[in-house]
A and B are shown apart, each in its own frame.
Chain A
Amino acid sequence: MGKIKVVHYINQFFAGIGGEEKADHKPEVREEIVGPGMALNAQFKGEAEIVATVICGDSYFNENIEEAKAEILDMVKKYNPDLFIAGPAFNAGRYGVACATITDAVQNELGIPALTAMYEENPGVDMFRKSIYIVPTKNSAAGMRDAVKKMVPLALKLGKGEEIGSPQEENYFPRGIRKNYFAEKRGSERAVEMLIKKLKGEEFETEYPMPDFDRVKPNPAVKDITKATIAIVTSGGIVPKGNPDHIESSSASKYGKYDIDGFNDLTEDDHQTAHGGYDPVYANNDPDRVIPVDILREMEKEGKIGKLHRYFYTTVGNGTAVASAKKFAAEIAKELVADGVDAVILTST
């Protein structure tokens, strides 16, 4: 077999085109090795070769996902590579999402083996770890050498169509796929050995790490709802018309805090949803369907609740990483407590 042909994907920054000001750079392809491709190519040690590099601005990709994907897939297809590599993206959020999205597309739409690499907290990991191979890296480009060293062995295996071992053996984020195998000892003996280690306080490895069920106990009921200040927090993406803070339609990296003083009813003239994960027609027709400002105003007037808090908090729950959601919630909760809010109505979609 000849050299494995590789197409490499990087962003405008790693291509040396520019930083944020150049993030709208449209996809281009160069038949050369660019930026981090040098390190990858060197590490291939002749077994593989980058035949083309696709470069795309992070903003362009994330704001025009469908077009960008289609354009890049066309570029990749032209070279008929044996392997596609994106990144490494380290902790650059939009770059990570672009790398993971395009790796997924190349793998699943073109049927070409593909991988990418990034830091564990990059939102691209949670979005795509189940469908693609993502190699863990450090959180900044200072970890480039280490990243390349880990990416290349897995890349070569994928390129050769060899069987891929466990995440520990091959350095990728576990995809959550359970596969059977025959262990050396029977289960009961493994259990006894595990118990002995546990009793001695030694390290042991469970065979099935429990999924993380983050159960939150509800607070006791509000004592007197007629005196309570109630706030609205939503992951349904309702924002003032025009989405002034550009909350992403999926994998939100931020949340918004908006004033509803003077609003008795939200309408399509003043509010909309930013959410990309459901049919927005009904939410846009009447945003009260997602956050019930109209009803809460009536209840406020009738004295059924104390008052509606002046601000509502909003984000998009579509594919948003649990880590991000947790961070938003902690910040929001702190402000709500400081503002004397007694209770919150949480809505989703």
Chain B
Amino acid sequence: MRLELGKIFIKDVQFGSETKIEDGVLYVNKEELIALIREDEHLKEVDVEIARPGESIRITPVKDVIEPRVKVEGPGGIFPGMISKVDTVGTGKTNALKGCAVVTTGKIVGFQEGIIDMTGPGAEYTPFSKLNNIVLICEPVDGLKPHDHERAVRFAGFKAAAYLGNAAKDITPDEVVAYETLPLLESVKAYPDLPRVAYVQMLQSQGLLHDTYVYGVDAKQILPTFIYPTEIMDGAIVSGNCVSACDKNTTYHHLNNPVVEDLFARHGKDLNFVGVVITNENVYLADKERSSNWTAKLVEYLGLDGVIISQEGFGNPDTDLIMNCKKIEQKGIKTVIITDEYAGRDGASQSLADADPLANATVTGGNANEVIELPPMDKVIGHIEVVNVIAGGSDGSLREDGSIVVEIQAITGATNELGFNKMSAKGY
């Protein structure tokens, strides 16, 4: 399966009378966008704001971040099974608007939503401070249940991203990168001397606002399965997720999965990247056993030499991570796991809820409990008072002058477990 990803670099976003891209500037027809999102009867009020890198703006509570993309050639559309038909995506051409994103906010859905600061110390911890953000403020109708609210805001984000992405359909990309994954036997034939490597991606599926969707299917209900990496680039996996902000994989993370990208970078040179195995993180022991058994069985069947396993969330999914790692290692297949840590504010506690000596190659996104002080910003988009209740915040987090003291857990993407960031932790 081969996809050409066309990158269109967006330097700035401005409101305009027509939604279009000109000389690297994305112009957004605000009224048209609002009218599109307002179609959902669950949303009472919708507004759109722009937040640029370096501006004194704090966005909270952030639900999801989505990169606008559009299918240019090949079957299907972006976000198949969600807002496009369930055609198999991942071939042909796709254009992506690099340097910008749709950010969804509004009255809180779940407690595990985050903060994006566009400047200051907090901006260092979130990759989204470097993007020109089109922020959707979606206020639900009165009495809307959290799961309906989540769904409405989730779809609002996808619709807005597809709407903006559409402006790039006929644009010639600034840069084109081709990604190709051959069918397994051909791939092995092409690189007979290179170690065969796959990426095992664990999808957050604990339920109760901790959900991920694959071609529209709730990942709780999947058995571990194979997916081409380019399918993910077309939005086959999306977030529906209110797990702690620091280690939730937003839809932006899925579209730009760094493990996929960095494995491709070494593909054909140091390793043979044969594809992606997706599995879930359900809460029942039987589900955990079944999924980890199945994952180990699948990677064995694929004849692999090594895998990288990434996690999403923490605590309960630590057990899934360790089960996957242990069972795959026991099959003689080498693993590297990517996780993050909850070592307490003083960093002195054990970092994970589970451990095994076979997990001897671990990459960490850092200690999520570390405390940070975020100075006041000139402007807040969303509802600032939630910082007292979101995961990582506590009563009194928000001070009178508008500064906040929170764990970095509250910052969107801060300790990402796909290895999106440079942050790590070491023992002292």
Contact = CB atoms under 8 A, between A and B. Distances in A.
B336 to A, nearest CB: 4
B189 interface: no
Contacts of A218: none
A279 interface: no
Interface string B220-249: 000000000000000000000000000000
Given A208-B425, A210-B359, A186 B419 contact: yes
A178 B427 contact: yes
B426 A181 contact: yes
Interface residues of B, number: 56
Given A191-B308, A208-B351, A183 B356 contact: no
Contact of B363 (A164, A174, A178, A187): A187
Nearest to A180: B366
B357 A207 contact: no
Contacts of A192: 259, 262-263, 265-266, 308, 336
Contacts of B261: 188
B416 interface: yes
B362 interface: yes
Interface in B337-352: 338-339, 341, 343, 346-348, 350-352
B351 A178 contact: yes
B323 to A, nearest CB: 14
A180 B352 CA distance: 15
B333 to A, nearest CB: 10
A209 B364 CA distance: 11
Contact of A207 (B306, B335, B355, B426): B426
Contacts of B357: 210, 212-213
A189 interface: yes
A223 to B, nearest CB: 30
A210 B355 contact: yes
A198 B427 contact: no
A125 to B, nearest CB: 15
A186 B144 CA distance: 40
Nearest to B359: A210
Q: Which of A177, A190, A213 has the most CB of B within 10 A?
A: A177
Nearest to A192: B262
Contacts of A178: 341, 343, 347-348, 351, 367, 425-428
A206 B425 CA distance: 11
B364 A207 contact: yes
A174 B336 CA distance: 23
Given A192-B262, A192-B266, A174 B428 contact: yes
Contacts of B427: 166-167, 174-178, 209
Given A178-B426, A187-B416, A187-B418, A195 B308 contact: yes
A76 B8 CA distance: 68
A216 to B, nearest CB: 14
A211 interface: yes
B409 to A, nearest CB: 12
B422 interface: yes
Contact of B262 (A179, A188, A209): A188
A166 B424 CA distance: 14
Q: Which of B351, B363, B420 has the most CB of A within 10 A?
A: B363
A176 B259 CA distance: 29
Interface in A156-204: 164, 166-167, 174-192, 194-196, 198-199, 204
Given A166-B428, A198-B336, A179 B263 contact: no
28 contacts: A130-B348, A176-B427, A177-B346, A178-B348, A178-B427, A180-B367, A180-B424, A183-B423, A187-B421, A188-B261, A190-B363, A190-B419, A190-B424, A191-B336, A192-B265, A192-B336, A194-B363, A195-B271, A195-B335, A196-B266, A199-B197, A199-B306, A207-B364, A208-B425, A210-B356, A210-B357, A210-B360, A213-B357
Given A167-B428, A181-B423, 4 more contacts: A182-B124, A187-B417, A192-B259, A195-B308
Interface of B: 124, 195, 197, 258-259, 261-263, 265-266, 270-271, 305-308, 334-336, 338-339, 341, 343, 346-348, 350-352, 355-357, 359-367, 370, 408, 416-428
Interface of A: 130, 164, 166-167, 174-192, 194-196, 198-199, 204, 206-213
The 5 closest A-B pairs by CB, nearest first: A187-B419, A188-B419, A188-B258, A178-B347, A178-B343
